[in-house]
Structure 1
């Protein structure tokens, strides 16, 4: 964190190399977060660029009350929220999510689970989806998320609670839909009736 604080201080003085270093330090994390949030690579990149333009112009305003990552992601959050609102007024463009590295010994199952989770997250309201991403994907505390989202901590906790409740309902439904689509004729009701007689 000390390194990031020093980088922001150098950016405030107009140090372009510090700005580049800060950009490279955050780009990958922000791209992943914003792509999962917006489901659009082009919009995610636009938000990243807008965010860092604000960081360049407003680095002097960073007081150090929070971590630089919280400050920067707070800017990104507000930019993403505005971009999503603007995009919802226009035509939406779908994309295939960037493939995440598999950590399971069963790659198909891990990919299938990731797909179900992505589909379920996409069905959450934006504010809940953001809270889930910030908490579980990026590891921020409720206090940090409240700072990023500019809302009370209890609002963050409520959003996480409702998001978890919706995900608990959605994930089994999505898994059931996949199982029904993948059911073989030999596994259907007629096949079971034939085995029972």
Structure 2
């Protein structure tokens, strides 16, 4: 309720309220941009573009309850504008370390490094669904996709993650099952 009042005050032009909104949601947009594969060197530029758009368009927001979805839609469009085309993005250990710092506030039994095996379009819906707790309908609005496409991507992403976890588990089992050869000296 307090956040909604702050958003309304920001819509009315209160710069202190806008700063509070920014402080509340900037880590969320930064983390989302990282999940979409925006390169580290471009994060600040895209983040600035997002918040400039929010500042200029905040008066068009019809309901403060829809702010998070509206913000993520702007972030989605800004990120894809920067990326131009979907492509596979290498997730480095350095990037994962920065995401871990950004996402310390997220409470989940899953870790973000699980997502590195997924293509961007799967990673995005998994992230929005599990880490940001958005519904399929909200994700569809953000990504400009039909709800059934979101559900399909979630289904396929879960299967890819399950296959990946299963393969990793099998590899670990094999490494433990292989007998170690001991060398004995003969005189």
Tell me if TM exceeds 0.5: yes
Post-superposition Cα deviations, 1:132-186, rounded to whole Å, max 9, x if no partner, equal 0011011111121122112221111111011111111112223445666xx47xx
Matched, 1:60 2:54: no
Q: Deviation at 1:63?
A: 1.4
Where does the alignment leave 5 or more consecutive residues of structure 1 unmatched? Answer: 102-109, 192-197
Structure 2 CA distance, aligned partners of 1:82 and 1:147? Answer: 17
Q: Deviation at 1:80?
A: 1.7
Structure 1 CA distance, aligned partners of 2:65 and 2:8? Answer: 14
> Is the contact made by 1:9 and 1:60 (CA closer than 8 Å) also made in structure 2?
no
Structure 1 CA distance, aligned partners of 2:91 and 2:117? Answer: 16
Structure 2 CA distance, aligned partners of 1:129 and 1:140? Answer: 14
Structure 2 CA distance, aligned partners of 1:7 and 1:18? Answer: 5
Matched, 1:154 2:144: no
| Match of residue 38 from structure 1 | 37
Q: Using a 3 Å threshold, how does the CA distance of structure 1 residues 86 and 156 change in structure 2: closer, same or farther?
A: closer
Q: CA RMSD in A?
A: 3.2
| Match of residue 172 from structure 1 | 166
Structure 2 CA distance, aligned partners of 1:33 and 1:179? Answer: 34
| Match of residue 178 from structure 2 | 188
Map 1:18-29; keep pairs closer than 5 Å. Answer: 18-29=17-28
* TM score, norm. by length of structure 1: 0.71
Q: Using a 3 Å threshold, how does the CA distance of structure 1 residues 92 and 162 change in structure 2: closer, same or farther?
A: closer
Q: Deviation at 1:37?
A: 3.2
* TM score, norm. by length of structure 2: 0.74
Where does the alignment leave 5 or more consecutive residues of structure 2 unmatched? Answer: 182-187
- Residues paired across the two proteins, number: 172
Q: Using a 3 Å threshold, how does the CA distance of structure 1 residues 86 and 49 change in structure 2: closer, same or farther?
A: farther
Structure 1 CA distance, aligned partners of 2:65 and 2:144? Answer: 13
